[in-house]
Amino acid sequence: MFDNYEWFKMKVLTLTKIDLNAYKERQMKRRIDSLISNSKLDSYESYYKLLCSDKAALKKFINYLTINVSEFFRNPEQWKMFQELVIPMVQQKSGRFKIWSAACSTGDEPYTISMIMQKHFPISKYEIIATDIDDEVLEKADAGLYIDKSIVNLPDEYKKYFEKINNKTYQISNDIKKYVQFKKHNLLTDVYPSNCDMIVCRNVLIYFTEEAKNGVYKKFYDSLHDGGLLFIGNTEQILNPKDFGFTSIKSFFYKK
């Protein structure tokens, strides 16, 4: 549709530190071309100039690229398995159990983890860090406001942690919020957290190229303690987990 996509990718890397080469090209290019058309522009050059001069356009661009789709207890059966695997691990660990929610989007996932952990353990037994590349979704996560569709799979026992603001908006309790630490982080370029007992990264790496995806799996391995767990999404699968030092123990769960 437009020329000079290679040039545009280089410029975006300099401007945002987002390497578009790490994303599946056909899918990503289609998304960007749609943004350009919706902006009523006719080239990558003109769109890049817009991104440089208009902070709102740049923010929209980054948010659109990072494909933020999330909800509480997304794929409930997987969260049941999460509890079955993690609770015994936390009980056996002498120190604090460290969980990293990578590419956490609007916070639904780490807050889900926080609710589960609070049900079973005092805060002295665990810590939760949550990261994402997108400033806008981190702001939303910190605000803790969610529409009704986000909590459609929420079990009844956890509804006490939400206050209804209006017909479609709910505020999550500070009792859940205060135990999650949010930080900005780029999976492709930034230093990874260390000494993790579990990493949760779901339905994100499907947008990466195989090379970029493999690099992330290797870094996840380095971030985990021996015996640590990696929990990925229902749209993903590590075809050769042994190549990265992992063993598949359940669907979507891998052990270092």
- Could you tell me which residue, 238 or 24, shows the higher pLDDT? 238
What per-residue confidence (pLDDT) applies to 156? Answer: 94
Band (55; pLDDT cuts 50, 70, 90): confident
- Say if residue 30's pLDDT is above 80: yes
Give the start-to-end residue ranges of the domains of the chain. 5-65, 76-255
% of the chain surpassing 90 pLDDT: 60
Instruction: Note whether 131 and 100 are within 8 A (CB).
Output: yes
pLDDT averaged over every residue in the chain: 90
Helix (H) or strand (E) holding 109: helix 108-120
CA distances from 155 to 84, 144, 221 (A): 16, 18, 32
pLDDT tens digits for 145-196?
A: 998 889 988 999 999 999 999 888 999 999 999 999 999 999 999 999 999 9
pTM assigned to the model:
0.81
3-state secondary structure of 27: helix
User: Of 183, 194, 200, which Cα lies nearest the Cα of 116?
Assistant: 200
User: Of 199, 246, 195, which Cα lies nearest the Cα of 225?
Assistant: 195
- Say if residue 1's pLDDT is above 70: no
Average pLDDT of 108-121? 96
Average pLDDT of 115-130? 96
Average pLDDT of 12-30? 84
Our separate counts of H helices and E strands in the chain read 9, 10
Instruction: Note whether 119 and 155 are within 8 A (CB).
Output: no
CATH among 1.20.1050.10, 3.30.710.10, 3.40.50.150, 3.40.50.720 for 76-255: 3.40.50.150
Instruction: Note whether 2 and 29 are within 8 A (CB).
Output: no
